[in-house]
Amino acid sequence: MIPSAPQDKDFPWWLVIAAAIAAFLMYRVVSDALYAQVLTTLSKGIGITIFVTLAGFSLAAGIGLLLALASLSRWLVLRQMARFYIEIVRGIPIIVLLLYVAFVLAPGVVSLWNWLTANLGFDPIRNRDFPLLWRAIIALTIGYSAFIAEVFRAGLQSVDVGQIEAAKALGLTNWLRFRFIVFPQAIRTIMPPLGNDFIAMIKDSSLVSVLGVLDITQLGKITAAGNFRYFETYNVVALIYLIMTITLSLLLRRLEARMRAKPERR
């Protein structure tokens, strides 16, 4: 049997190399007028990227938790509906889902709303009144909720059944069992893959550029098309995404380490 390597004690040489590359690119940004101009332009899209990620992930996490609870329900109909949603949505690529929501689902919702309110005195809504930004957020929410549902389901099922039975014997209601017994233990299993999904959504948020949303990637495409300096422009695009994702990855590792250490101090 091959002993496992002490990975937690490894010196992070990869981080040193990444920091060196980032430092070199930041030096170019400071010393090169073209890099500085590109960064100034792309920085306008950082807020959009962060908003899309936070809004989409928050909604996806909420829906994912409900789907996980439904898939574990004692009611057959709820279980089957949840599995149907999860399996169908997970089989559709995110970019296809973005296009479908933007150009099929959203116009359908607008048409349905206009039909329902036709006799109520409301002014009809036009398709262009449904912002592309929110179409993108809805698509990311739908896509990631299915994956997050599986994360929650696995975490909830990891809790020892004996503790749940003991809570039932004490007379705790379903909500109290979930609130004080199941979820606090499941969250330690849930956090690492949930954090990975959050980082993945930051990267997948770049797909909203296909809808013309002015995020970092879309502004990069526009800038490169205008100055024809693709190398410099996409270097800065990659640098911005790497700074966000690596920073979050390091923070999540520290959070995981603290959560693992908590039981040891008890």
Angstrom CA distances, 3 to 6, 7, 48, stand at 9, 12, 46
Q: What is the pTM of this model?
A: 0.86
Report yes or no: 34 and 232 within 8 Å, Cβ to Cβ. Answer: yes
Name the residue range of residue 103's domain.
Answer: 45-256
Q: Is residue 39 part of a domain?
A: no
Q: Is residue 178 part of a domain?
A: yes
Q: Is residue 127 part of a domain?
A: yes
Kindly tell me if the per-residue pLDDT of 265 is higher than 50: no
Phi-psi region of 212 (alpha: psi -120 to 50; beta: other; left: phi over 0): left
pLDDT of residue 32: 83
For the CA atoms of the chain, what is the radius of gyration?
A: 23
Q: Is residue 179 part of a domain?
A: yes
| Count of domains forming the chain | 1
Q: CA-CA distance, 199 to 204, in Å (whole number)?
A: 9
Q: Which CATH number belongs to the domain containing residue 248 in this structure?
A: 1.10.3720.10
Q: Is residue 54 part of a domain?
A: yes
Kindly tell me if the per-residue pLDDT of 252 is higher than 50: yes
Q: Is residue 23 part of a domain?
A: no
3-state SS assignment for residue 201: helix
CA dihedral for 19, 25, 29, 32, sign (positive or negative): positive
Comparison of pLDDT for 44 and 32, the residue scoring more: 44
User: Which of these, 193, 199, 189, 98, lies nearest to 148 by C-alpha position?
Assistant: 193
**141-150 per-position pLDDT tens digit:** 999 999 999 9
Residue with tokens 């990227």: 49
Name the amino acid, one letter, at 75.
W
pLDDT of residue 266: 41
Kindly tell me if the per-residue pLDDT of 183 is higher than 70: yes
Q: For the chain, what is the mean pLDDT?
A: 87
Report yes or no: 205 and 56 within 8 Å, Cβ to Cβ. Answer: yes
